[in-house]
Structure 1
Amino acid sequence: KMQSLVNPKPIIKTTGPGIPEKVKFLLSKAWNLIYQVDFDIETHQGNVITNISYVKTNELDLAIDIFEDVMKTGPQYCTSKYFKIIPGKEPNKTGIATVCSLTLDGILVKNGVSTTPQYGGILETDSKQPRFIELTAYSGSSLDPHEIYIAKDMTSVSEAIKDGGRVLASLREIPYIARPAAVDVLEEVQDAGFSILKIGKPSELVYNAKVERYHVGIVAPGGLNPIAALKEHGMDVEPKAVETMTNVSEMEEF
C-alpha cells in the first residue's frame, strides 16, 4: 500500500534557534531575597542575606586569622560584623557566611525607603578622594560582579586596611526625597554593626559614579571583602554571593 502523502512525516528536522534558555539575572534572584530581609534595626534581630564562601577545611584556621584581621583592622570595609562557619557539602571544604551588602536594601525597603541596587564595583581607597575604578550593573549581569572581580585578582583589600588599596563596594539609588528617612535608618544600621561608606547628596556623583537625576547614591562595602583578602593570601576560595538567608541569632560577631 502507498503511504499517505497528505501529512508526510518530515525526514529531516528543521534547524533553528529553538527555545532559548533564559538567562537568570542576578537582580531577579536578589529581589526575592531582599524582600525576605526582616532584620530589626532596634532589636538587632532577624534575617539577613548572606554570601557563602568555601575554603579548604585544613586551611580554615589560617583563613579565620586573615578574616579576623580584616574584620578588626578594616571594619569600615566589611558589610557587617556578623559571620558564621558552616560545614561544607564536601568533607574537605568548610563554608564561611558573610553578610551581603544587599541586606541594606532589604532594611531600607522594610523601613519604607524605596531603593534600587545599581552597581557592584571596585573602590580605590588610596587617594584623598576614593573613587570607583570598575562598575558592573546588576541589571545586566547573571553573575555577581564581586565574584568576578575576586576571580580576576582585582582587589587589594589587605593593602586597603593598612594604607590604601582596592576594595569591593556596591552602589544603590534612592529617590532624593527619601534621603532624610534613609539617613535616620542608616544611622541605626551602623549602630547595629553594619558599615556605610557614603550617602551622597541629590544627583551628586558618588565616588565618581554617576547617579540618576532626582536620586541619591548610597555606597556600602562588599560582604566578600574578607574573602577577597583570603584569595590575596594565595588561598583557594570559592565565593558564592547573594546565596541565602541567615538569622543573625545563628551568627557570631567580631
Structure 2
Amino acid sequence: MRAVLKRTRHRDGAKKYRSSSVSMSFIRSERKCIEILRILKDHPEPVGAKRLSELMSERGFVLTDRAVQYYLSYLDDMGFTKKVGNRGRLLTAKGISETERALVDERIGFIISRLEKLAFKSDFNPETGRGNVGYNLSVVPEDQVNGVSGAFDEVIESGYSFFSRYKIIDTDPRIPSGYAGFLTVCSITMDGVLQKMGVPVRMAYGGVIDIKNGKPLGFSNLIGYRGTTIDPLSLFITSGNTSIGQTCAEKAGSVLANVRQVPQDAADLVSEGSRLMRECGFLFPVDMGSGVLNTPVDPCRISLIAYSGMNLIGNAVEKGFELRNEIGAGNMPFSFFE
C-alpha cells in the first residue's frame, strides 16, 4: 500500500488522492487500512462500517463510523475492497494479496499479543467455577454440523482436548446464514487462571507431539509464538503435520499441544491450579518439568504442557469438513459451557 491517504475534491467533484512524503501520520493511516483489510479477510460475508469500527477498537484502533467510511472509500478506490449494497464491504482478490504482503514485520508477534490480551480478560476462578474464559469460534456449513460434532466428540473422549465440552450456536452476527458456530474453550484461559494466582506465565511454543500406546513421546515440531505472523497450531493443521483421528482410534500418531513456561519456584502453585481446573472439566497438564518431552531447557523456568483445544478443529479438518476458525475470538462466561 504505497499511496498516501490525502484526499481532495476537485472542481469536477471527483475524489482524488495525492501523494506526499512518508510521515508518521501516513504510517498510522496505513496500519489502520491494513487492519481493516485483515478483518475483512477473516469474514466471508460483507462487513459494515459500524461492525468494522467495533472490531478495530478491539485491535487498539479507536475510529468513528465516519472515519471507517473514509478509509473504506480509499480502499474501494484502490481496488482492495468492494461495496455490496447496504450490507458492507468484501475483500477483493487484490485486497487479499495486499493483506498477505503488507507490513509483515508488524504482524510478527500479533498472535501472542492477541492471546495475552485474552488471558488478561479471562477472570475464571476454578474454585468457584465462575468467571470469563477465552474461546475459539469455528463456523461450519449447517449440513456438516453432525459430522463436525462427531469429530469433536472423538477427540474429547480420547482425552486429547483442553476442555471436555463445547457449544453449538447459530444466533451470532459473525455467523452467516446457512452456517452454524462451534465454540470451544481456548487454552489461554489457563494463563489467566495462573496469572490471577500470582504466577507469571509465558506462552512459549505451539507444537506437534508424538503419541505411542496412548502416551506422549515428545515434540517432533515446535514454533515459538513470539516470532511468527500466524498461529502455529493452525499452520500445523493446514500443512498436514497431524494425525489426530488416527491417534484417537489407535492411540498412536501426532496431536497438537502448547508449551507454557513458568518459574521453577511456582511449581506447587501451578499444580494446585491444574488440580482445581481439572475438577471443572479441563483436561491437563500432559506433563510439567524442565526439558520434558523434548522442550528447551531453561535454568530458571519449567515447561507446562497441555493438549490444545485445536485438536478438535484439526480432527474435523482431517476428515474433510470445512471450518473457518477465529482463534482467540473473545471472552465469555464459563457458565455458557456448563
Give the TM-score taking structure 2 as reference length.
Answer: 0.65
Q: Are residue 248 (structure 1) and residue 308 (structure 2) matched?
A: no
Q: Are residue 150 (structure 1) and residue 237 (structure 2) matched?
A: yes
- Which structure 1 residue ranges, 5 or more long, are not aligned? 1-11
The residue number in structure 2 matching 1:96 is 182
Kept in 2: contact 1:45–1:247 (CA 8 A) = yes
Distance, in Å, in 1 between the alignment partners of 2:326 and 2:212 is 27
Q: 1:130 aligns to what SS in structure 2?
A: strand
Q: Are residue 176 (structure 1) and residue 264 (structure 2) matched?
A: yes
Greater helix share, structure number: 2
Distance, in Å, in 1 between the alignment partners of 2:323 and 2:305 is 25
Counterpart pick for 1:231 among 308, 313, 317: 317
Report how far residue 214 of structure 1 moved: 1.2
Distance, in Å, in 1 between the alignment partners of 2:216 and 2:330 is 34
1:113-124 aligned within 5 A: 113-124=199-210
Report how far residue 70 of structure 1 moved: 2.0
Counterpart pick for 1:45 among 108, 115, 130: 130
Q: Are residue 34 (structure 1) and residue 122 (structure 2) matched?
A: no
Q: Structure 1 counterpart of 2:204, which letter? A: Q
Q: Are residue 131 (structure 1) and residue 218 (structure 2) matched?
A: yes
Q: Structure 2 counterpart of 1:125, which letter? A: I
Kept in 2: contact 1:173–1:211 (CA 8 A) = no
1:86-139 Cα offsets, whole Å, 9 max, x none, are 225211221111111111111110111110000011111126651111111111
Report how far residue 78 of structure 1 moved: 0.6
Q: What fraction of aligned residue pairs are identical, expressed as a percent?
A: 28
Q: Structure 1 counterpart of 2:166, which letter? A: F
The residue number in structure 1 matching 2:275 is 187
Report how far residue 239 of structure 1 moved: 2.3
The residue number in structure 1 matching 2:193 is 107
Counterpart pick for 1:164 among 236, 252, 258: 252
Relative to structure 1, is the Cα distance of residues 140 and 45 closer, same or farther in structure 2, using a 3 angstrom cutoff?
same
Q: Are residue 85 (structure 1) and residue 172 (structure 2) matched?
A: no
Distance, in Å, in 2 between the alignment partners of 1:132 and 1:102 is 20
Kept in 1: contact 2:264–2:300 (CA 8 A) = yes
Q: 2:294 aligns to what SS in structure 1?
A: coil
Distance, in Å, in 2 between the alignment partners of 1:118 and 1:63 is 29
1:59-81 Cα offsets, whole Å, 9 max, x none, are 10121122222212x12x11111
Relative to structure 1, is the Cα distance of residues 184 and 63 closer, same or farther in structure 2, using a 3 angstrom cutoff?
same
Report how far residue 15 of structure 1 moved: 8.9
Over 3 Å off, 4+ runs? 12-16, 18-21
1:171-192 Cα offsets, whole Å, 9 max, x none, are 0000101111111111111121
Distance, in Å, in 1 between the alignment partners of 2:161 and 2:216 is 20
Structural RMSD (CA):
2.3
Distance, in Å, in 1 between the alignment partners of 2:297 and 2:231 is 20
Q: 2:146 aligns to what SS in structure 1?
A: helix
Distance, in Å, in 1 between the alignment partners of 2:135 and 2:228 is 19
